[in-house]
């Protein structure tokens, strides 16, 4: 099996490889603490503070943010980063000559941390727009998702896996915890054209736009030739986990505009963009309900966007209704 560094040596340049090496190291630390649920570092429960989008920060949100920031600062190939857990982007002093910047959700699925349900880390890597040798600027982080040069997520679950692309297909790696290395277990993965699962929080059904109500009703009603239901609902509350199941088995994940979240809940720069880049590499696609997520030019670091993402057949049906 191809070890992550071997894969990157053939699929990317030394700087990108060093970024993924840093992410591998940080993922191992977070994975270990998550697996010690309550026995190791003090990572359970609320931190007692809010992040920039008003979410109650969990201790693991802050722990993961620190672990990934330390690893990415030290790798020397990242000039700065934009994290869900920080109001502003952070320039990495001493890394002004680095060519890349990162947008990251250090811990996705925070509501699932204390109940031992799968959670993740999501990241997108961009080539900076500002000249190397200078301090990074906001514009470096407000690039459309199509500019990503690589992206990935780490899923802390029964096993810890990293799903990534450097632009040549989507690949899945599993963490071998004793060697602290990720080894590839699937390459050039394609999302099934159709699926069985639709993932949406139906508590918000009454707020959904008519077209979305029609799509959810379509999923509820659709029958197979044998008369059995074609679709079923699955919603974990961790984007990484719902995305991963839909990637492997086929399906669609939707976080739409709701009454409480008129622009949706997910953030474009460090959730919508990386996940849509990955889904596109796997043959699916993602939209905000109208346009390709990867074409949206962000205007704010933490701007939210509705997210429809998954298998093309289910996406086409959802978008047809739109
Ligand atoms: P985060 O923990 O980084 O804030 O992301 C949580 C997101 C996403 O992972 C999940 O699908 C969604 O929030 C769940 O939101 P609801 O509980 O409102 O359905
Ligand atoms: Mn998240
Ligand atoms: Mn998060």
Mean pLDDT along residues 186-210:
97
Nearest to 110 by CA among 24, 19, 30, 198: 30
Burial of 158 from C-beta contacts in 10 A (0-12 / 13-18 / 19+): exposed
The pLDDT value recorded for residue 224 is 96
**What is the pLDDT confidence band of residue 321, given thresholds at 50, 70 and 90?**
low
Give the relative orientation of helices 14-35 and 4-11 as an angle to the nearest 10 degrees.
150
Query: Is 110's C-beta closer than 6 angstroms to any atom of ligand 1?
Result: yes
User: In angstroms, rounded to a whole number, what is the distance separating the alpha carbons of residues 294 and 285?
Assistant: 9
Query: Is 207's C-beta closer than 6 angstroms to any atom of ligand 1?
Result: no
Is pLDDT of 182 > 80? yes
Which fold does the domain 197-321 belong to in CATH? D-Maltodextrin-Binding Protein; domain 2 (3.40.190)
Ligand 1 pocket test, candidate residues 265, 286, 309, most atoms within 8 A of CB: 265
Residue 116 per-residue DSSP state: T
CATH dotted code for 4-186: 3.30.540.10
In the beta sheet, which residues pair with residue 307?
Answer: 255
Least confident span in 109-113, 146-150, 198-202, 235-239: 109-113
* Ligand (nearest to CA of 240): 1
The domain limits of the chain are 4-186, 197-321
Q: Is 194 a catalytic residue?
A: no
The pLDDT value recorded for residue 52 is 77
Per residue in 256-313, pLDDT (tens digit) is: 999 999 999 999 999 999 999 999 999 999 999 999 999 999 999 999 999 999 999 9
Across the chain, what does the average pLDDT equal? 95
For tokens 């069985």, the residue is: 196
Q: Is the Cβ–Cβ distance between 107 and 114 less than 8 Å? A: no
Provide the CB-side half-sphere exposure for 247 (13 A, CA).
Answer: 27
Ligand 1 pocket test, candidate residues 266, 286, 302, most atoms within 8 A of CB: 266
Q: Which two tokens mark 112?
A: 């699932």
Mean pLDDT along residues 223-241:
97
Query: Is 105's C-beta closer than 6 angstroms to any atom of ligand 1?
Result: yes
Q: How far apart are the first and last CA of the chain?
A: 43
């Amino acid at each position: 099996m191809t070890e992550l560094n071997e894969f990157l040596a053939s699929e990317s340049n030394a700087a990108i490889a060093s970024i993924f090496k840093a992410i591998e190291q940080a993922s191992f630390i977070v994975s270990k603490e998550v697996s010690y649920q309550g026995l190791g570092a003090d990572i359970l429960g609320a931190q007692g503070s809010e992040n920039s989008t008003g979410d109650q920060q969990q201790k693991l949100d802050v722990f993961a943010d620190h672990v990934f920031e330390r690893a990415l600062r030290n790798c020397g190939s990242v000039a700065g980063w934009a994290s869900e857990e920080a109001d502003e982007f952070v320039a990495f002093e001493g890394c002004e000559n680095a060519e890349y910047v990162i947008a990251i959700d250090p811990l996705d699925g925070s509501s699932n941390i204390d109940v031992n349900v799968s959670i993740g880390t999501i990241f997108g890597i961009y080539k900076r727009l500002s000249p190397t040798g200078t301090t990074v600027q906001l514009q470096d982080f407000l690039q459309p998702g199509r500019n990503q040069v690589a992206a990935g997520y780490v899923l802390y679950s029964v096993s810890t896996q990293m799903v990534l692309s450097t632009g040549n297909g989507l690949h899945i790696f599993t963490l071998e915890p004793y060697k602290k290395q990720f080894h590839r277990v699937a390459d050039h993965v394609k999302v099934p054209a159709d699926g069985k699962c639709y993932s949406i929080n139906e508590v918000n059904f009454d707020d959904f736009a008519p077209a979305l109500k029609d799509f959810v009703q379509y999923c509820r009603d659709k029958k197979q030739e044998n008369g059995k239901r074609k679709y079923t609902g699955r919603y974990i509350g961790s984007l990484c986990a719902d995305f991963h199941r839909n990637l492997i088995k086929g399906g669609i994940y939707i976080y739409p505009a709701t009454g409480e979240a008129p622009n949706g809940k997910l953030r474009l720069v460090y959730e919508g963009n990386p996940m849509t880049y990955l889904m596109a590499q796997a043959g699916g696609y993602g939209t905000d309900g109208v346009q390709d997520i990867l074409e949206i030019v962000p205007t704010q670091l933490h701007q939210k966007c509705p997210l429809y993402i998954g298998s093309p057949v289910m996406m086409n049906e959802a978008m047809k209704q739109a």
